[in-house]
Amino acid sequence: MVKIGNIELGDFPLLLAPMEDISDPPFRAVCKQNGVDMMYTEFISSEGLIRDAQKSLHKLDIYDYERPIGIQIFGDKVEVMREAAKIADAAQPELVDINYGCPVKNVACKGAGAGLLQDLPKMQKITEEIVKSCTRPVTVKTRLGWDDSTKNIIEAAKRLQDVGISALTIHGRTRAQMYKGEADWSLIAEVKNLPDIHIPIFGNGDIDSPEKAVEYKNKYGVDGVMIGRAAIGYPWIFKEIKHYIATGQKLSPPTIQQRVDTVMAHLKFSVEWKGQKTGIFEMRAHYTNYFRGIPDFKPFRLKLVEANTYEETMDVLDEIKAGLMLATY
């Protein structure tokens, strides 16, 4: 049984990665329906939280059906991160997570996210202050290092565990790699196998199928895996991995009806959480992913992006279900 603090997550937990503009409550809802064990909010600016910025505060929204869930924060100032962690802690998640892995320029090059891999003492100090400030477990997500010449994840992991984090997720790329190339899990395995590392170690990067999840589970010995991009438009991946681990057999891909039903659920949550106008607009980015690989889908996609009300969109989805039900793919 893998545990973070007192949170029991099963024998090999599957985690949903925090993804900006993706991992909002509507998307998390459909992932939860498909078997994910632990989820995280989108990453939240520590500066935004302490300034009461509406966008940042909105990301604190969590619901009982999502639990267990972690709130993830990022920033580069010790005092600001400490105060933001207190705000996140007060929102009553199961844990508070720190982002030391975001590679994008306007985060990492300002000393936050993966930028803190260039300053391990500061990373350690921020983490120590957050652990002291929170009543809940604190976890970290990071990368192998800044670039190929500075892969310092082993030292980082030891420092982070020393100041009291309860789990560590490692993305198997450096900041310089961004999301390119193949993730290197060998260093993740090295961290996991260190004799003085006793916290759960989760691997992240390139898990896009049940077969790969089981292969990496067996090959690298991690306590669980975090899945990000492979879940976008395909929340069924969590259910498929669990079935494959339990039976050694692959589930059939989702049917047209299952795809449409999931999109309807996602749309309903989106409109309820964001309001009709924003909820419908932001769902448009998801349709291509949900119906990727379906023949003759383009006319339906155009109808979906042109629909302006919840009722119109649901009518198009009903039309898709009726029109494509017999499609084979």
Of the candidates 32, 38, 46, which has an alpha carbon nearest to the alpha carbon of residue 266?
Answer: 32
Predicted confidence at residue 329, as pLDDT, reads 45
Predicted confidence at residue 326, as pLDDT, reads 52
The domain made up of 256-324 has a fold known as 1.10.1200
Confidence band, pLDDT 50/70/90 cuts, at residue 321 = confident
Token digits of residue 117? 């891999």
- Neighbouring C-beta atoms of residue 36, cutoff 10 Å: 23
Spot the catalytic one: 31, 102, 109, 134: 102
Give yes or no on whether 3-247 and 256-324 have one common fold: no
Q: What are phi and psi of 55, to 5 degrees?
A: -60, -40
What CATH code would you report for 3-247? 3.20.20.70
Q: What is the mean predicted confidence (pLDDT) over 22-34?
A: 96
| Residues 321, 329: Cα–Cα separation, whole Å | 15
Are 95 and 136 spatial neighbours (Cβ–Cβ below 8 Å)? yes
Predicted confidence at residue 293, as pLDDT, reads 87
For 165-209, write each residue's pLDDT tens digit: 999 999 999 999 999 989 999 999 999 999 999 999 999 999 999
Domain positions in the chain are 3-247, 256-324
pLDDT over threshold 80, residue 324: no
102 catalytic per annotation: yes
Token digits of residue 151? 């892969």
- What number of CA atoms fall less than 13 Å from residue 142's CA on the CB side? 35
For 47, 113, 157, 174, the CA distances from 73, given in Å and listed in that order, are 10, 9, 18, 20
Q: What is the mean predicted confidence (pLDDT) over 114-138?
A: 97
Max Cα-Cα span within the chain: 59
| Residues 38, 297: Cα–Cα separation, whole Å | 33
pLDDT over threshold 70, residue 160: yes
The Cα angle at residue 288 between residues 282 and 292, in degrees rounded to 5: 150
For 248-294, write each residue's pLDDT tens digit: 999 999 999 999 999 999 999 999 999 999 999 999 999 999 999 88
